[in-house]
Structure 1
Amino acid sequence: MKTLELTFNAQAGPARILIRYPKEPVDPVQVKTVMNQLVAANVFMTGNGELVSPKSARIIDRETQDIQLP
């Protein structure tokens, strides 16, 4: 499962927003634009306060494999 992790600078430290199954390929320019829009819209209140600015973004790829028990 892939997850897009958006990290923001918030009033009292970093804040993350996770998006499962992002549309690929991920466009860095579009990601930065959306992050700026989220900050400007001021629609999220995090445990560290309001979002102040974009900090970073990354794709996390987790693979799950079942183990057959004897």
Structure 2
Amino acid sequence: MAKVLELQFKTETGKSAKISVNDPIDPIDTIQVKAAMDNLIATGVFGSSGGVLTGVEGARVVERNVTDYEVL
């Protein structure tokens, strides 16, 4: 099962943007996640089609279970 930590941000145009982190460390340390998100906003390292990141909207872990079947 694949896990992804999605960091959700607000942008300068009022849109939402997200950054995905594959295979996050369990358990999620929300204090560290918030600090990292604040740092990304402060440094302006990432942008989006909605402009620069301006605020934290949330964070979530998404788990995905994929089953492949051989079809001949």
Give the TM-score normalised by the residue count of structure 1: 0.91
Q: CA deviation at 1:3?
A: 0.3
Report the Cα distance in structure 1 between the residues aligned to 2:18 and 2:71, rounded to whole angstroms: 37
**1:12-34 per-position Cα deviation (integer Å, ceiling 9, x unaligned):** 21111011111111111111111
Cα RMSD, aligned residues only: 1.2
Ranges of 4+ aligned residues in structure 1 off by more than 3 Å: none
Residues paired across the two proteins, number: 70
Alignment correspondent of 1:48: 50
Q: Which runs of 5+ in 1 are unaligned?
A: none
1:25-40 superposed matches below 5 A: 25-40=27-42
